[in-house]
Structure 1
Amino acid sequence: MVQAGSIQHVSLTGAGQAEVGGPQSPPRQLPLAIRDFTGRTEHVAALDALVPGDEAGAGAVVVSAVDGAAGMGKTTLAVHWAHRVQDRFPGGTLYVNLRGYGPGDPATPGEVLEGFLRALGVAPERIPVGVEAQAGLFRSLLAGRRVLIVLDNANSAGQVRPLLPGSPGCLVVVTSRDSLTGLVVTEGAARLTLDLLTEPEAVALVGGIVGAERAAAEPGAVRELVRYCGRLPLAVRIAAGYAAAPHTTVGEVVAELADERSRLEVLSRGGDERAAVESVFDWSYQRLDSTQALVFRRVGLHPGPEFCLEVAAAATGLDLPVVRRVLGGLVEAHLVEPVGRGRYRLHDLLRAYAAHRAALDDLPGQREALRERVWQWYAHHAKTAHQVLHPAHRDWYPALRLDTDTRPELDLGDPAQALAWLEAEQDNLVAAARDADRHGHLPLTLLLTTTTGWILFRMGRWEDRLDLHQRAVAAARRGGDRTTETSALLDLGQTQRAPGRWQDAHETLLAGLALARDLHHPALQAGALADLGWVCLDQGHYTQAREYLLEALPLAPGAQHGRLEGVIEGNLSEACAGLGDYRQALHHAERSLPLRRQAHDRQGEAIALHQLARAWHGLGEHPEAIALCEQALHIEGHHRSPDVTAGILDALGACLRDTGHRERALRCWREALDLYHQLGHHHADDLRDRLHALEATDPGLPRSH
């Protein structure tokens, strides 16, 4: 049996909906402690000595770098010790596997900070864009709090530095195969290096797992088991766990190890801990029945950090009850770890080993067919969810025309269900898109990148969205599909626009416009011109925006079932309002609203109501503007992205200010400002100035903090 000590995700246990810094239970994210932890007495004492005293109000953050080779039990030690002392950290315990070594891409500081901020109560839509802003908010939230942070499996000091708090009272434990000299030199980290277990420690570990009575009955076999495992903690734990199974003796396990001469040779060298662990995994693998072995190999090829029961069934071709039973057996054997109802993950080394077994035991064609089934499963459901949430786009993107079919199929017919699934699977969707691209499957690469982009936009994951749309452009070019390339360029330009990369967006959209003109494709020309107008609106270039939008308007009728024409009319309303022509702004907004409704574009309906409100506000009709803003806010939240909600609140606050409802105006503006800050939106500076000006007019108003 094996112990999955290192995991492939950021634990998220915070409420996720609290106000920033608001009251909530402190997060306690540590993985399960090992019941039979043995030895490491000196290391535990060294860590104990680092815990800051209750009176510590000055000084620096305490950092401990626990280093050592793979399989030395760094994670086990760190988690065991952290469980012992976490009650001395009332502010909470944060844990993450940084994936510095092993399969998969290392965790980025932004990915980790997003998970930590959620655990600390920051709503997803309020997490700022960019590592620097996220790190600043993280340090702010930890100021004055005593928090224990375990950063497991780091690959460098650079991966760790953005994750360090700034205030005393916090303690950070970092584990890594790297010596992390940079942390020792520049952050004053205390270095703690793990080596192999001593023979007495390893023997005690076996006794703790199989039971003192059984160990005492076979002392020679226990020592032989320790010797064959080379005193490598993970290897000892695996072998002893197997010996603890019913109707199995330690001697029988030793005999099996002894029979595997090539494995024992690898295990005895001790030079490559990964290879040594694989040899023990191989021995465990041979004990599986054929169905268990098949499922284990299949889930080892899954591209994402965790997987659900249904995708495991799709990968294996087995019925759900069978897969559920088999995964239950693999969980019992500690080859697979459950992470929630119907969701699982593999330890990083086990995932690499499972993929290695697939390379040995399955034909190349079988592995490729498996990968395609997994991509197909994610692509099919992402397409379904996308069409449910965005019906106007159902025949806009060429990639969406790909026929897909998969079993088992989830019911995603309700918009709330579709959004929940996209949010839960966003990491796997990104991984599947990249995996399909790496293996050169152009149709599924394009479908996955297209359908995944929207949820990444909603979650503010700009770098991932940029990466996927860049892959889509490259894939379309490789396939010689100029229509899809044009569509992908427009998506890429929209993505560059969102965080304010206007020059990049402008160049990308001009390239898309040129392609659309070469193709004589009016709708794509309209889309490119509309997006160029949007970029100008963002920068306050209203005259140029109006010119682009007026050029786009006659090309748009019918595109996206009327939605695109509605977008252009609405943006013309924005441009006219920016130029002070509120009558014309009202005219365009009134044309936009029915087009958005005709296309069943609920978010677009909210935007059009906001644009109508802005025009009426400019004309001095404040009650009408307030009513329209409130109507927009009553549209279901899963139909409104955070930037749309912020814009409506901004407009509502302006109307309330002008009608004398200052306290309510302040509440709206503060909520909008929070959203703008979290999104890195360029409107934040302007709104902050207006908010401070309003506060200054009445000293009795509640102040911003």
Structure 2
Amino acid sequence: MSAALAEWRDQKPLRGLPDDGLFGLRKAQLREEWLNATCSQLEAAWLANEEKWLCEETQKLYERLPDRAPIRQFYFLAHGSELPRVKREKLLKEWKRRFGDPDAGLQRAIDLIHGNTRRSRRGVPLPVPNQLPARGHRPLGRDGLIHKIVEAVRERQDSGNGSLIVLSGMAGIGKSTIAHHVAWILEDRFPDGVLYANLRGFTGEDAQPADPEHVLDRFLAELPPYSSAAGLDGKSAALRSALAHRSVLIVLDDALSAKQVLPLLPGVGTSAVLITSRKTLGDLRSHHEVDLRPVGPLGEEAALELLQEKVSVADRGKHAQAFTDLARLCCHLPLALIVVARRLENRPHHTVDVLARELAEEREKLNVLHLPAHELSVRMALNCSVRALSEEARRLLWQLAVHPGPSIGWDAVMDLGMVGNGMRADRAVEELATANLVELRSDRYRLHDLVRAFARHYVVPVVPGALESFEKATVLQVLEHQLQNVRACDRLLDGQRMLPIGEPNGITVAEPEGLDQAVSLLDEEYDTVLLGIRLAVEQGLEHYMWLLPMALVTYQWRRRRLADALRGLTHATEAAESDASPVERAMFYRMLAGTQWRLEAFEPAANHLRRAILLSEQDDSEAGLLSLARSLHALALTLRKQGCVAEAEEHHRRALVLYRELSDLVGEAATLNGIGTLHYDQGEYDEALRFCADALGVVERTTDLSGRADVLYTLAKIHQSRAERNEALLLYRRACENYRQLENWPNEDKVLWLYADVLVAAGRSPDAVEALERVLVLRERMGGAGVHEVRDRLEGLR
């Protein structure tokens, strides 16, 4: 040991090189290596009873490094017994004032000199290792997680048990920082020291994961009596024996697998192990009781604090929105935030907007987050994770990045596995989830935005044939899965509309069992389908450009997502004109007009419906006649809104003739209700009641719940105008129940609003309050329009 240390020719390693960045980090590592070697030399001298040399050497080291606890430990061992008790106490009191309470190693030396610890045959206290890296910054936004881990370890230790904590999360999430901080908090709880190993599970191509046998050699060297065991199993058993009567904290950083970790774990006793890994290390659970602690992105406040650590308060306020955007675009990932913060150190803060725009570009994002000179790179970190995947998992990861997101269900993942020569997509997605490259949340898989960008632009999957052809096949599979499943739901929302969608081929379709399940499925898939429509537009796939918006529009009407519906149908117009037949185009224009009608844009709605009538008249088949009847009826409803009563009734009557010729009871009832509504508008309540009563008689011979609710609503208004309050209340309630069953929020809102009027007039204010509270819930769900009006009305009734 002395010969090795003699090669250390300078007290300052790498003299002349900078103290920051990579060189600064290496200097710190070399200083720690020197200190560890020096302490080993002092320990050897103590073991060999080289008292004179030890006294001289510790005196020199103590003068240079009084702040290092191991140096104070050996200084006290060498000099403490020679000092009078008063001087010893004075020295210890001074150390406590300057450096705080003694650590476990120094305390053992104090106890030995004071006679509180039994000397061994050779008078040597057991050495107490402390291999933790240098203390760093407190991890921001992790106080809750750190507190829970610390308390869990303490509780198990107090009950005489050990702990095995696994911190698992994606690359750059801050697992090691948390583990180190937890270890610094807990180190005084473990009198026999702290062992640390970087297992290098996910490192660059120029480094291999740590061999557990080599790690065992290092650990056993710190735990006398020194073992002569050979081989992995022998050394692992020796470690368990050495720890059986010790209480040691072990930190295993960046573990690759359970196989790498298992030989390094203690058996019985109160030792604790902290493991960090990009994987969940599920195989450990079959051998040990594991406390898995997932580590996710930071919250917004902590992300901003990390990003703005060196930014003045004035600049924070001046560029508040830009910093918020930066944090969001970094997905609150600590590594990404640190890279951006480092970039901001060398840029004026008014360029924050420029940096945010660069991060918003998917292709540019990972270049912005790449600082290899400082060993800071999201791209490099993710590459290490992806390199450890199987070929099938890499292929699926790439396909998930082609998928528009933001989430994907199990069936859709399985369908992706059918592209090309097929693969076991179930095993591949499990591998990705285990590696924390996808997240399973609420039964749906999600890709972190930075993982998506990396997979899309830096992963090259092994695929059958050309990659371009495989990508096209993947896109088609994604869109066909969406179209077939949205159509399956839409059939329950609108059984009258037939879309020209073929039967599923190689696609898994989740057939909903009822209307509630259909709406629930669309609630889950909605954001994904919107992005699918955008993908179809980007790829110029006309079939999906118009059929996906068409399949979704009834749901959008019932959830009052009208802006989305209008956007999707507007983008689809050219595709419908190119891809659809005249009758199909007429249906498309009716849906577009229906969306504008609900937005009270009656003039463009009427123009689209006239276009639908012309298209329908080009086809004299039964389908063409039905399309014409529906177009005439829809135009009549629109003309009523424009105040064109005579023209509206003319179109209703034309539609009525066609519906009766076609024996279409649903259409007949809707048209009779439309004519009755026109008479109601004119104050002709008897005529209105006659037509609507006929409409109710017709619609009740069908299963059309929506048409029945429409007729009941009109009848309720008529009876209300005739001051027939009881009849109006009954009809409003029935209409409301039907609309609620249909999940038709806008119409349920409309009925309840008028229902409350009648309840108030009947002196039933508590019932009116209940109805209006439901209106409040519906309007909040639909975006908040009209909420203040409801609250004001409730205030007056309470």
Cα distance change on mapping 1:682 and 1:494 into 2, 3 Å: farther
**Residue from 334, 338, 343 that aligns with 2:436:** 334
Which residue number corresponds to residue 491 of structure 1?
591
- Rounded to whole Å, the distance in 2 between the matches of 1:524 and 1:623 is 39
- Rounded to whole Å, the distance in 2 between the matches of 1:392 and 1:183 is 57
Listed as ranges, the matches of 1:84-483 within 5 Å are 150=300, 184-185=317-318, 277-317=378-418, 322-341=424-443, 343-356=444-457, 361-362=462-463, 363=466, 364-393=468-497, 395=498, 397=499, 399=500, 401-479=501-579, 481-483=581-583
TM-score by length of 1: 0.57
- Rounded to whole Å, the distance in 2 between the matches of 1:179 and 1:513 is 65
- Rounded to whole Å, the distance in 2 between the matches of 1:280 and 1:534 is 60
Q: Which of the pair has more CA radius of gyration?
A: 2
Considering Cα pairs closer than 8 Å and 6+ residues apart, tell me whether 1 or 2 has the greater RCO: 1
Cα distance change on mapping 1:598 and 1:330 into 2, 3 Å: same
- Structure 1 contact 490–509 (Cα < 8 Å) conserved: yes
Which residue number corresponds to residue 189 of structure 2?
none
- Structure 1 contact 536–545 (Cα < 8 Å) conserved: yes
How far is 1:310 from its partner? 1.3
Which residue number corresponds to residue 205 of structure 2?
none
Cα distance change on mapping 1:183 and 1:580 into 2, 3 Å: farther
How far is 1:326 from its partner? 2.9
What is the identity, as a one-letter code, of the residue corresponding to 2:560? G
SS in structure 2 of the partner of residue 317 of structure 1? coil
- Structure 1 contact 151–174 (Cα < 8 Å) conserved: no
How far is 1:424 from its partner? 0.8
Cα distance change on mapping 1:150 and 1:187 into 2, 3 Å: closer
Cα distance change on mapping 1:290 and 1:676 into 2, 3 Å: closer
How far is 1:573 from its partner? 2.2
SS in structure 1 of the partner of residue 636 of structure 2? helix
- Rounded to whole Å, the distance in 2 between the matches of 1:630 and 1:438 is 46
Could you list the per-position Cα deviations for residues 397-430 of structure 1 after superposition, in whole angstroms to 9, with x for gaps in the alignment?
Answer: 4x3x433334433241322211111111111111
- Structure 1 contact 72–233 (Cα < 8 Å) conserved: no
How far is 1:593 from its partner? 2.7
**Structure 1 residue runs without a partner (length 5+):** 1-35, 46-70, 81-147, 154-170, 195-204, 207-228, 236-262, 696-701
How far is 1:383 from its partner? 1.0
Root mean square deviation of aligned Cα: 5.0
- Structure 1 contact 391–600 (Cα < 8 Å) conserved: no
- Rounded to whole Å, the distance in 2 between the matches of 1:313 and 1:42 is 39
Which residue number corresponds to residue 661 of structure 1?
764
Which residue number corresponds to residue 626 of structure 1?
729
Cα distance change on mapping 1:271 and 1:392 into 2, 3 Å: farther
- Structure 1 contact 184–190 (Cα < 8 Å) conserved: no
Could you list the per-position Cα deviations for residues 116-161 of structure 1 after superposition, in whole angstroms to 9, with x for gaps in the alignment?
Answer: xxxxxxxxxxxxxxxxxxxxxxxxxxxxxxxx983999xxxxxxxx
Which residue number corresponds to residue 704 of structure 2?
601
Cα distance change on mapping 1:422 and 1:656 into 2, 3 Å: same
2:684 counterpart of 1:534: no
What is the identity, as a one-letter code, of the residue corresponding to 2:738? I
- Rounded to whole Å, the distance in 2 between the matches of 1:390 and 1:637 is 15
How far is 1:682 from its partner? 10
How far is 1:530 from its partner? 2.5
How far is 1:315 from its partner? 0.7
Which residue number corresponds to residue 703 of structure 1?
796
Cα distance change on mapping 1:656 and 1:230 into 2, 3 Å: closer
Listed as ranges, the matches of 1:553-568 within 5 Å are 553-557=656-660, 561-568=664-671
What is the identity, as a one-letter code, of the residue corresponding to 2:796? R
- Structure 1 contact 382–452 (Cα < 8 Å) conserved: yes
**Residue from 581, 585, 592 that aligns with 2:688:** 585
Cα distance change on mapping 1:186 and 1:369 into 2, 3 Å: closer
- Rounded to whole Å, the distance in 1 between the matches of 2:402 and 2:715 is 51
**Structure 2 residue runs without a partner (length 5+):** 1-132, 143-169, 179-297, 328-333, 343-365
SS in structure 2 of the partner of residue 300 of structure 1? helix
How far is 1:466 from its partner? 0.9
SS in structure 1 of the partner of residue 738 of structure 2? coil
Cα distance change on mapping 1:188 and 1:567 into 2, 3 Å: closer
Listed as ranges, the matches of 1:542-561 within 5 Å are 542=645, 545-557=648-660, 561=664
SS in structure 1 of the partner of residue 796 of structure 2? coil
What is the identity, as a one-letter code, of the residue corresponding to 1:703? G
- Rounded to whole Å, the distance in 2 between the matches of 1:454 and 1:152 is 42
SS in structure 2 of the partner of residue 556 of structure 1? helix
Could you list the per-position Cα deviations for residues 94-132 of structure 1 after superposition, in whole angstroms to 9, with x for gaps in the alignment?
Answer: xxxxxxxxxxxxxxxxxxxxxxxxxxxxxxxxxxxxxxx
Moved more, 298-307 or 529-538: 529-538
- Structure 2 contact 307–338 (Cα < 8 Å) conserved: no
- Rounded to whole Å, the distance in 2 between the matches of 1:230 and 1:340 is 27
What is the identity, as a one-letter code, of the residue corresponding to 2:565? R
TM-score by length of 2: 0.51
- Rounded to whole Å, the distance in 1 between the matches of 2:314 and 2:608 is 42
How far is 1:596 from its partner? 3.6
How far is 1:477 from its partner? 1.8
- Rounded to whole Å, the distance in 2 between the matches of 1:615 and 1:188 is 53
SS in structure 2 of the partner of residue 344 of structure 1? strand
What is the identity, as a one-letter code, of the residue corresponding to 1:150? E
SS in structure 1 of the partner of residue 445 of structure 2? strand
How far is 1:481 from its partner? 3.5
- Rounded to whole Å, the distance in 2 between the matches of 1:456 and 1:491 is 11
- Structure 2 contact 307–340 (Cα < 8 Å) conserved: no
- Structure 2 contact 559–746 (Cα < 8 Å) conserved: no
- Rounded to whole Å, the distance in 2 between the matches of 1:442 and 1:339 is 33
SS in structure 2 of the partner of residue 391 of structure 1? coil
Cα distance change on mapping 1:575 and 1:333 into 2, 3 Å: same
SS in structure 1 of the partner of residue 437 of structure 2? coil
- Structure 2 contact 140–302 (Cα < 8 Å) conserved: no
Moved more, 493-502 or 473-482: 473-482
How far is 1:314 from its partner? 0.6
SS in structure 2 of the partner of residue 338 of structure 1? strand
- Rounded to whole Å, the distance in 2 between the matches of 1:407 and 1:188 is 44
Moved more, 543-552 or 566-575: 543-552
Cα distance change on mapping 1:311 and 1:181 into 2, 3 Å: farther
SS in structure 1 of the partner of residue 513 of structure 2? coil
